[in-house]
Amino acid sequence: MKKSKFFKVAGAAAMAAQKDKSFFEKVKAFFKMLGDYKNGSYKPDNMNLFIGFVATLYIVSPIDIIPEALFGPFGLIDDFGILLFGMKYFNKEVIKYLAWKDTQTAYANVEDAKIIE
């Protein structure tokens, strides 16, 4: 892929992400999910979070499969792939969290049955 075509595709993806308000809502929900997890009110699937955090650590770490120092911009390909892989698992967990949050809100006013004698 030519460098100019790569940047056009990346720019188009960035513009689409800016228009997609649900992306920003999911980012907010992710941090709320971490807060609810810390409070003990939400129990996430640990494997989804583990894979997402490992992917994030890989991207931040200086160790690379394809190093940028040797291959220039082509060294970012592995980082981009791992980023997409990790985001897939974070997204899965955020969707589960939002569904859980909706059920919590829907049943907030429901009282347990009382026995009347």
* Radius of gyration from C-alpha coordinates of the chain: 20
Residue 4 one-letter amino acid: S
Task: Assess if residue 85 is contained within a domain.
Answer: yes
Q: Tell me how many domains the chain contains.
A: 1
Distance of alpha carbon 44 from alpha carbon 33, whole angstroms: 8
Query: How many of the other CB atoms lie within 10 Å of CB of 97?
Result: 21
Tokens representing 115 are 């026995």
Segment 59-74, tens digit of pLDDT: 888 888 888 788 888 8
Task: Assess if residue 42 is contained within a domain.
Answer: yes
Task: Assess if residue 13 is contained within a domain.
Answer: no
Residue 63, sorted as left (phi over 0), alpha (psi -120 to 50) or beta, turns out to be beta
Handedness of CA 82, 83, 86, 87 (dihedral sign): negative
Asked if residue 107 lies in contact with residue 99, where contact means CB atoms within 8 angstroms, the answer is no
Half-sphere exposure of 19 (CA within 13 A, CB side): 6
Task: Assess if residue 117 is contained within a domain.
Answer: no
Query: Whole-structure pTM over 0.75, yes or no?
Result: no
Task: Assess if residue 39 is contained within a domain.
Answer: yes
Segment 2-51, tens digit of pLDDT: 556 666 666 666 666 555 558 888 889 999 999 999 999 999 998 988 99
Task: Assess if residue 11 is contained within a domain.
Answer: no
Task: Assess if residue 12 is contained within a domain.
Answer: no
Structural domain of residue 27, as residue ranges? 21-105
Asked if residue 36 lies in contact with residue 47, where contact means CB atoms within 8 angstroms, the answer is no
